[in-house]
Chain A
Amino acid sequence: MSTLTARPAPTSDDSDVVAVETVTFARVLTSEWIKMRSLRSTTLTLLTGFALMVALGWLFGWATNVNWSNLRPEEQASFSQIESTLDGFNLAQLAIGVLGVLLVTGEYATGMIRATFGAVPQRLPVLWAKAVLYAGVTFVLMLAAGLVAFLGAQELLGTHGTSLSADGALRAIVGVAGYLALIGVFSVALGFIIRSTAGGIATLFALLLVLPISGLLLPASWREHTLPYLPSNAGATMFHARTASDALSATTSLLVLLGWVAAALAGAALVLKRRDA
Chain B
Amino acid sequence: MIEAKNLRKKYGDKTAVDDLTFTVQPGIITGFLGPNGAGKSTTMRMILGLDAPTGGMVTVGGRPYRKHARPLQVVGALLEARAVHTSRSAYNHLLALAATHGIAKQRVADVIEMVGLQDVARKRAGGFSLGMGQRLGIASALLADPETLILDEPVNGLDPEGIRWIRDLLKGLAADGHTVFVSSHLMSEMALTADHVIVVGRGRLMADMPMSELIAQASTNAVVVHSPQAAELAAAFVGADITVASPEPNTLEITGLSAAQIGDRARDLNISLHGLAPKKAPLEEAFMEMTRDEVEFHAHTPTGHHLRSAS
Contacts and interface: CB of A to CB of B under 8 A. Distances in A.
A9 interface: yes
Contact of B66 (A7, A21, A34, A122): A122
Nearest first, the 4 closest Cβ-Cβ pairs linking A and B are A21-B102, A8-B177, A121-B66, A38-B92
B212 to A, nearest CB: 23
Interface stretch (B82-90, B161-169, B267-275): B82-90
A6 B3 CA distance: 15
Interface stretch (B140-148, B196-204, B237-245, B280-288): B140-148
B69 interface: yes
A112 interface: yes
Interface string A137-155: 0000000000000000000
Interface string A83-113: 0000000000000000000000011001111
Given A118-B83, A276-B50, 10 more contacts: A2-B61, A22-B101, A22-B102, A30-B99, A34-B96, A110-B85, A111-B83, A114-B50, A115-B84, A118-B48
A23 B71 contact: yes
14 contacts: A7-B147, A8-B27, A8-B178, A11-B175, A22-B101, A23-B101, A30-B100, A39-B87, A114-B79, A114-B83, A115-B83, A115-B93, A118-B71, A121-B71
A164 interface: no
Does more than half of chain B's interface fall in helix, strand or loop, or is it mixed?
loop
Nearest to B81: A111
B107 A35 contact: no
B100 A31 contact: yes
Contact of A1 (B49, B50, B69, B145): B69
Contact of A3 (B49, B70, B88, B143): B70
A23 B50 CA distance: 17
Nearest to B52: A276
Contacts of A121: 48-49, 65-66, 68, 71
B116 interface: no
B176 A12 contact: yes
Contacts, number: 150
Given A6-B61, A39-B85, A119 B66 contact: no
B23 to A, nearest CB: 15
A77 interface: no
Contacts of B279: none
A6 B60 CA distance: 11
A27 B48 CA distance: 20
Interface of A: 1-3, 6-12, 17-23, 27-28, 30-32, 34-35, 38-41, 106-107, 110-115, 117-122, 276-277
Interface of B: 26-27, 45, 48-52, 61-63, 65-66, 68-75, 77, 79, 81-89, 92-93, 95-97, 99-104, 107, 140, 143-145, 147, 175-178
A117 B71 CA distance: 10
A107 B175 CA distance: 35
Contacts of B103: 18-21
A34 B83 CA distance: 17
A138 B282 CA distance: 63
Contacts of A32: 96
A43 B51 CA distance: 33
Most buried by B among A2, A17, A23, A118: A118
